[in-house]
Structure 1
Amino acid sequence: MRHRAAAALALAGALALTACGGSDDGSAQLSVGAAYMPQPVSDLAAGFLTITNDGDAADRLTSVSSDVARQVTVHETVDGAMREVESLDIPAHGSLVLESGGNHLMFEQLKRKPKQGQKVSVELRFAHSDPVTVELPVKPATYRPTTGH
């Protein structure tokens, strides 16, 4: 019994370290990875990351905020055309990938231009899960990840 309790405690600690946002009923299990922001060259910036849901219920990314911008909007890209949307689905046992050329975050009216090597704090809010705060490392403007997206 002690071993089972210790294993449960270790698992809980590991989940906390991966920036999980739990829902009220425990059915959505969200974690965030592959996050970054290309260094902005204007008063706009983009943000990219992957939200993985290991839970049994779907959720939705509903809003985003950051102290670096007056507004952060969620955009989807369909057939090469981007448009602002109110939310993006995160399927149960699936992922929402925000990537260059696809769905993404737009940081509008930047209060300051983050530089390569800095980090930008972002709060992600969901329809059912608790908010998650993520640090986006600022990469070169031309950065393209080789994995994770």
Structure 2
Amino acid sequence: MRHAVPAAAALAGALALTGCSGSGADSGKAGLSVSSPYMPQPVSADMAAGFLTITNEGTAEDELTSVSSDVAGRVTMHSTVGGAMAEKSSFAIPAHGRLVFRSGGNHLMFEELRRKPRQGQTVTVKLTFAESGPLSVEMPVKSATYNPSTGH
């Protein structure tokens, strides 16, 4: 019986280490995709807004840490809560969840426009994440009054 306790403890320790080493390889990854991207044709010569939805079908949270585009000197991320807009340095994307950028809510601001995008054109946007690789998105430019819920 004396030999059984150390052997059981050694086996339990080995199993615990095996469990730890296998947990990072296949599980715990975000599975990100983008849908419904669009930019209303800007009414200003130097600023535009952008909207899209990022869906995470993975088992781990990720974080949108930056956005860039060749059409703008910089792209900033903003939240809108109770009518107050605040610039954010990142947005969490929960596992099995979504991050939605929409008119009146979270949104992207394209600042210092290098050219004014026109309806019918597309703008390339690069999304950078804390854990996942970057995603490039083609964002169509819609009419200035476009509303996705009505289609115009």
Superposition TM-score tier, normalisation by shorter sequence: 0.7 to 0.9
CA 1:92–1:111 in 2, change beyond 3 Å: closer, same or farther? same
Deviation per residue, 1:37-78 (Å, 9 max, x gap):
000011110000000000000011100000000000011111
TM-score (norm 2): 0.79
- Residue among 75, 78, 81 paired with 1:78: 81
> SS at the partner of 1:116?
coil
Give the equivalent residue in structure 1 for 2:48. 45
Structure-2 separation of matches of 1:25 and 1:107: 37
Runs of 5+ consecutive residues of structure 2 not aligned to the other structure: 1-24
Aligned pairs for 1:113-132 (under 5 A) are 113-132=116-135
Work out the CA distance in 1 between the residues paired with 2:65 and 2:33. 16
Q: Identity of aligned pairs, percent? A: 68
How many residues align structurally?
Answer: 124
Aligned to 2:93: 90
Q: Which amino acid in the other structure matches residue 56 of structure 1?
A: T
Quick one: distance in 2 between partners of 1:108 and 1:69? 6
**Structure 1 residue ranges without an equivalent (≥5):** 1-23
2:123 alignment partner, SS class: strand
Report the RMSD for the aligned CA atoms in angstroms.
1.3
Q: Distance in 2 between matches of 1:25 and 1:45?
A: 40
Under a length normalisation based on structure 1, what TM-score does the superposition of the two structures give? Answer: 0.81
Is 1:99 the counterpart of 2:122? The answer is: no
